[in-house]
A = this chain, B = another copy of it.
Amino acid sequence: MDSPTATLLISCPDQQGLVAKFASFIYANGGNIIHADQHTNFEAGLFLSRMEWQLEGFNLSRDMIAPAFAAIAKPLQAVWQVHFSDTIPRVAIWVTKQDHCLLDLLWRWQAKELLADIPLIISNHTTLQAIAQQFGLDFCHLPINKDNKIQQEARQLEVLRQYRIDLVVLAKYMQILTPDFINHFPHIINIHHSFLPAFAGANPYHRAYERGVKIIGATAHYVTADLDEGPIIEQDVARVSHRDTVPDLIRKGKDLERVVLARAVRLHLQHRVLVYGNRTVVFA
């Protein structure tokens, strides 16, 4: 499975023959499909698909795949993306002071669980600068306060452009991004430290403790202008009891946060997540 592959992610209005048309496009050009997943949302009348095939032996050059597929996609009003497995996405990790999600992502990156280039950590504090050094990453310190947020976001966008970043991962970045920033750079994954929509907003573990819940959770989602309301990619939970204090909930929550965020980032990097409306299809 080591030869490079192409992946198509497609959404279009549902109609007959879509699987046949898309699969035939690949087959007619000599491609060998290794994964094909479809989902039809009948209420929305929407067909969503992910197809991955080996580029070895494929008759179309990489440059030609997009224009050739566009000819099929256009009459179907399909929205689509094509990705090549050896075009490695570039990721910037944003942090504040907590290191658990950052370290977990970097370990998985070193262990080749995350196929990405990670050239850069951005932070509003310098607390985690040493980790950047240790992993040989650039560290961009952009402190945020009430007065400089707009200017610093402009600076952040510039840095993302400069490093040709494809994906921002908010790995416990404790600042809210403005809708304007998100419009300019819509590829952002965040980890929220609760089982959304429970305990949206601040201090979820304190509130979980006060409410006396028996299970806590974490949620990885794409960031949209509506805080804590973006499309959910992954969630997981852990059982707690009356014996767990707030620090216990925070400690158990950290374990959830790291695995949930790592799974979401991996799914995204493998082009397994399709957003429609405020929901996701995860072709896992």
Contacts and interface: CB of A to CB of B under 8 A. Distances in A.
A32 to B, nearest CB: 5
A161 interface: no
Contacts of A23: 17, 19-20, 23-24
Contacts of A235: 213-215
A33 B38 CA distance: 10
A253 interface: no
Contacts of A281: 242
Interface in A190-224: 195-199, 210-215, 217
Contacts of A113: 251
A39 B215 contact: no
B242 A280 contact: yes
B278 A212 contact: yes
A86 interface: no
A236 to B, nearest CB: 7
A35 interface: yes
A210 B229 CA distance: 11
A107 B251 CA distance: 12
A36 interface: yes
A284 interface: yes
Nearest to A14: B32
Interface in A109-130: 111, 113
Q: How many copies does the complex hold?
A: 4
A30 interface: yes
A159 to B, nearest CB: 28
Given A198-B198, A213-B196, A281-B242, A19 B36 contact: yes
A149 B166 CA distance: 51
B100 A107 contact: yes
A192 to B, nearest CB: 12
Contacts of A278: 210-212
Contacts of A213: 196-197, 232, 235
Contact of A279 (B38, B199, B212): B212
A234 B214 contact: yes
A247 B163 CA distance: 32
30 contacts: A16-B33, A19-B19, A20-B24, A23-B24, A33-B38, A34-B42, A35-B40, A39-B242, A39-B243, A41-B242, A100-B107, A100-B111, A111-B254, A113-B251, A195-B198, A197-B199, A197-B211, A210-B278, A210-B279, A211-B232, A211-B279, A212-B231, A212-B232, A214-B233, A215-B235, A215-B237, A239-B239, A241-B282, A242-B281, A243-B284
Interface of A: 1, 16-21, 23-24, 26-28, 30-42, 99-100, 103, 107, 111, 113, 134, 195-199, 210-215, 217, 231-237, 239, 241-243, 251, 254-255, 259, 278-282, 284
